[in-house]
Amino acid sequence: MEITEKDVEHVSSLANLKFNDETKKNITTQLKKILAYVKKLNELDTTDIQPTSHVLPLQNVFKDDLIKTIFDKEISFQNAPRFDKRHYQVPKIIE
At 35, which CATH number? 1.10.20
19 belongs to a structural domain = yes
pTM reported for the whole predicted model: 0.49
- Over its length of 95 residues, how does the chain's per-residue pLDDT go in tens digits? 789 999 999 999 999 999 999 999 999 999 999 999 999 988 988 888 888 877 787 777 888 888 887 777 777 777 778 878 778 788 888 87
CB 4 within 8 A of CB 25: no
CB 22 within 8 A of CB 8: no
Domain with 14 in it: 5-41
46 belongs to a structural domain = no
| Distance of alpha carbon 91 from alpha carbon 66, whole angstroms | 35
27 belongs to a structural domain = yes
